[in-house]
Amino acid sequence: MANESRPCPCDIGDRSDYGGRGQEVQVEHIKAYICKPPASTDKAVIVIHDIFGWQLPNTRYITDMLTTNGYIAICPDFFVGQEAWKPSNDWATFDDWLKTRNASKTDKEVDVVLKYLSKQCGAKRIGVIGFCWGGAAVHHLMLKNPHLKTGVSLYGVIKFFEDSSSLLHPTFFIFAEKDEYISMEQVKQLEQKLKQNCKVHYEVKIYPGQTHGFVHRKREDINPQDKLYIEEGRKDMINWLNKYL
């Protein structure tokens, strides 16, 4: 089982030199990382980063992985120039830092990116995935945005979620059994709310023995015993996108 000692192990790949296969672009007021597949496609995925921001190598690695599966993939800077969290920061200041970066205040940026994907990239069917902070943003967007077709929330921190479960679009929730930040009791409560209120297809899946950040861990940071579940999580994410896009 993964046993990282840091407060949030989803930054674990930032020691990697992975630079990405895509390019950085300016989309109106937002910087973004975009990668396109060799063959033309009208399917795209917006990637919403975690607290470590849009430049984290782990997140670019997954963005590129989406491209190898045939999607235009774009990871915008949803902090819009504000500094991402750094592992060296004082965790005692985290709550104050977070107050200026609300996962449910992403609508304006998403609308800008949707317009760019449609007009500049020819995308007609667009989904969204997000990690941690970004997973909470996916939950919000699945409640609010009529233009997105589907979403995958990867270990979205449930305490950041809005208290609503009337999803507009099919949504897949990925959780880690040993997540220090998301208790299994919280996941159970989410499932109960979805069962009561949700009228679209959803799935909640818990991956045994895994810790926060497991799906977008870099290759060199994966323990052999976790590899099966990490690969399963990535495959499940792609299968979900393939089904609804």
Q: Which domain holds residue 59?
A: 23-244
**Residue 152 banded pLDDT, cuts 50, 70, 90:** very high
Residue 168 lies inside a defined structural domain of this protein: yes
Q: What is the mean pLDDT of residues 106-127?
A: 97
- Judge whether residue 142 has pLDDT over 90: yes
Residue 176 lies inside a defined structural domain of this protein: yes
The tokens describing 129, both together, are 């995935």
Residue 31 lies inside a defined structural domain of this protein: yes
Residues with Cβ within 8 Å of 18's Cβ and at least 6 positions away in sequence, in order, are 57, 60, 61, 218
Catalytic residues: 132, 179, 212
**For position 110, which CATH number holds?**
3.40.50.1820
pTM score above 0.75: yes
| pLDDT given for residue 220 in this prediction | 64
**Residue 50 banded pLDDT, cuts 50, 70, 90:** very high
Choice between 98 and 13, residue whose per-residue pLDDT is larger: 98
Residue 15 lies inside a defined structural domain of this protein: no
CB 139 within 8 A of CB 153: yes
- Judge whether residue 123 has pLDDT over 80: yes
Residues with Cβ within 8 Å of 199's Cβ and at least 6 positions away in sequence, in order, are 166, 167
**Mean pLDDT computed over every residue of the chain:** 90
Residue 10 lies inside a defined structural domain of this protein: no
Residues with Cβ within 8 Å of 151's Cβ and at least 6 positions away in sequence, in order, are 127, 128, 129, 130, 138, 139, 141, 142, 169, 170, 171, 172
